[in-house]
């Protein structure tokens, strides 16, 4: 099936992409020597981490089984057994502590001076976003180049709306991505040490692409900027493909608040069964976003969401609130969008991340460039394990210092989630747009 509008653009569009890249390199040039010294230091002091370990091989052998279990749900009398079931029923599952700085390809620094940088996803947009960043010259260049690639005035849309247009997936994702990259300029200008001492990064949904951009996936050779494909064009393909996929089947998303005695997994199972009875083939109803304890986003067919709303009390669900989106993102209904995105990603010159970048699919860090190419397309139709990611990022032994956190992008949605996860983490978090 061909998806209209997702093919790579003509030669004129490639020139626009190069303009965007030249603008972007102004933002990251100050970090280039630092990145190069890190790579040289890493190659001389430790083994190449890109080669799979025996533990990674074991994980690969389990991958097919884990994928089969990823959509499983908990019945009334059934105890949780899979990771997804456990995270839907308990607050803090037992797991091995993982210290992010351990995987960082850079000399160690005082833990109190380290940082974690997060990037928001769709839903964080608001009319007026990016206004306070225009005082940085490179930001105007980024928006101008982005507008050339996209074919419309992105800055005007961000500043003036209308909201109904900005909220559409096809416009929203590029807008959030560019604003997030622009917010890095403020961080570089105001807190340069936080960029240099970043030990890990992650992004929510489309924000993960911004996180990969930040993680050093670009090179400089003989003073010339080399092709860098985790960029606006990749986001453009993703947005157009997901917009198309969301129009194939009536579907949506809803935030669900529930308590310890709720039966969210079982409710999703019964919603799918009810949809089948209504003649819907291959219905979908699953947890799409793991936000924080006792709060998840469920996505699927509209009929399935209606079933949950009508039967919330039966399954002891406290509150269900529809989200203003037209698609069931991060479910199997988005699989048609994964193929064009995968094709675009395969053409990219993806580099090994310099710092730990954590995947939405499982919360684990990307081990190398090939891992990014394999894993990133899955993020479109697999659940966003944000709660699990935060658990990995911030779990520390008692008495150990926490890193500072910076949210680069519009709004403060990730800080709000972090506050629900742990107040201490939130107390040392800053937003870098407004």
Residue 358 domain-assigned?
yes
Assess if residue 65 is contained within a domain. no
Q: In this structure, is residue 86 part of a structural domain?
A: no
345, 305: one domain = no
Task: Give the domain-ending residue among 294, 322, 350.
Answer: 322
For the chain, what percent of residues have pLDDT higher than 90?
Answer: 56
Residues 105 and 131 reside in one and the same domain: yes
Same domain assignment for residues 301 and 207: no
**DSSP secondary structure letters along 268-282:** HHHHHHHHHHTT-SS
- Residue 75 located in a structural domain: no
Q: Which range of residues forms the domain containing residue 271?
A: 248-322
Average pLDDT of the segment spanning 200-208: 96
85 domain residue, yes or no: no
CB 183 within 8 A of CB 409: yes
Q: Do 312 and 344 belong to one domain?
A: no
User: Can you tell me which residue has the tokens 């580099």?
Assistant: 351
% of the chain exceeding 70 in pLDDT? 68
Per-residue pLDDT, averaged over 415-431, amounts to 72
What's the CATH number where 317 sits?
3.30.70.250
The values of phi and psi at residue 87, to 5°, are: -70, -20
Question: The whole model's pTM is what?
Answer: 0.78
CB of 310 closer than 8 Å to CB of 302: no
pLDDT tens for residues 44-68?
444 444 444 444 454 544 544 444 4
Residue 303 lies in a domain: yes
Shared-domain flag, residues 389 and 276: no
Q: How much is the mean pLDDT over the chain?
A: 79
Same domain as 426, residue 336:
yes
Same domain? For 350 and 269 the reply is no
Task: Answer yes or no: do 284 and 356 share one domain.
Answer: no
Domain finish residue from 269, 292, 322: 322
- pLDDT of 24 reads 56
Regarding whether 178 and 122 lie in a shared domain, the answer is: yes
Determine contact, residues 407/426, Cβ cutoff 8 Å: no
- What are 317-344's pLDDT values in tens digits? 999 999 988 899 999 999 999 999 999 9
Is omega for the bond preceding 162 within 30 degrees of 0, making it cis? yes
Can you give the CATH number for the domain in which 385 is found? 3.40.366.10
* 318 and 338 both lie in a single domain: no
Cβ atoms within 10 Å of 10's Cβ, excluding its own = 8
In a domain, 52, yes or no: no
pLDDT digits (tens, 9 = 90+) for 212-240: 989 875 332 222 223 333 368 889 999 99
Query: Which positions are catalytic?
Result: 205, 330
**Phi, psi values for residue 417, rounded to 5°:** -65, -40
Name every residue whose Cβ is closer than 8 Å to that of residue 78 and which is 6 or more positions away in sequence: none
So what's the pLDDT on residue 137? 85
Please indicate, yes or no, whether residues 126 and 269 belong to a single structural domain of this protein. no
Please state the domain count of the chain.
2
Pairwise CA distance, residues 329 & 284, whole Å: 11
| 72 domain residue, yes or no | no
Backbone angles phi, psi at 301, to 5 degrees: -60, 150
What pLDDT does residue 349 have? 80
Query: Same domain for 219 and 106?
Result: yes
Instruction: Quote the pLDDT of residue 429.
Output: 61
From 281, 304, 322, the end of a domain falls on: 322
């Amino acid at each position: 099936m061909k998806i209209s509008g997702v093919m790579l653009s003509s030669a004129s569009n490639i020139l626009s992409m190069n303009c965007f890249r030249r603008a972007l390199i102004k933002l990251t040039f100050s970090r280039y020597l630092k990145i190069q010294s890190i790579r040289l230091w890493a190659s001389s002091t430790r083994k190449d981490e890109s080669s799979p370990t025996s533990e990674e091989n074991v994980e690969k052998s389990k991958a097919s089984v884990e994928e089969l279990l990823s959509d499983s749900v908990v019945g009334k009398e059934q105890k949780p057994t899979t990771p997804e079931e456990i995270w839907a029923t308990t607050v803090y599952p037992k797991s091995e502590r993982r210290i992010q700085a351990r995987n960082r390809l850079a000399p160690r620094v005082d833990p109190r001076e380290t940082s974690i940088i997060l990037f928001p996803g769709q839903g964080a947009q608001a009319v007026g976003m990016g206004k306070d960043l225009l005082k940085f010259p490179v930001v105007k260049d980024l928006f101008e180049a982005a507008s050339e690639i996209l074919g419309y005035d992105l800055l005007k849309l961000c500043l003036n709306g209308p909201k109904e247009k900005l909220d559409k997936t096809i416009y929203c994702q590029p807008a959030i991505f560019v604003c997030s990259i622009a917010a890095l300029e403020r961080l570089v200008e105001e807190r340069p040490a936080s960029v240099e001492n970043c030990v890990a990064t992650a992004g929510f949904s489309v924000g993960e692409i911004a996180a990969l951009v930040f993680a050093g996936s670009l090179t400089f050779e003989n003073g010339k900027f080399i092709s860098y494909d985790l960029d606006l064009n990749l986001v453009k393909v993703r947005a157009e493909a997901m917009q198309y996929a969301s129009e194939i089947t009536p579907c949506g998303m809803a935030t669900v608040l529930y308590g310890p005695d709720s039966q969210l997994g079982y409710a999703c199972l019964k919603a799918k069964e009810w949809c089948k009875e209504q003649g819907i083939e291959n219905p979908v109803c699953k947890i799409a976003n793991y936000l924080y304890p006792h709060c998840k986003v469920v996505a699927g067919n509209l009929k399935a969401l209606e079933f949950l709303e009508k039967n919330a009390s039966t399954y002891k669900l406290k509150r269900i609130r529809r989200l203003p989106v037209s698609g069931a993102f991060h479910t199997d209904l988005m699989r048609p969008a994964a193929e064009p995105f995968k094709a675009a990603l395969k053409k990219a010159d993806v580099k090994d991340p310099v710092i730990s970048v954590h995947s939405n699919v499982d919360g684990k860090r990307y081990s190398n460039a090939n891992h990014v190419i394999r894993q990133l397309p899955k993020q479109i139709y697999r659940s966003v394990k944000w709660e699990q990611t935060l658990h990995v990022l911030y779990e520390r032994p008692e008495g150990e210092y926490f890193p500072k956190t910076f949210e680069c992008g519009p709004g403060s949605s990730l800080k709000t989630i972090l506050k629900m996860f742990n107040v201490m983490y939130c107390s040392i978090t800053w937003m870098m747009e407004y």
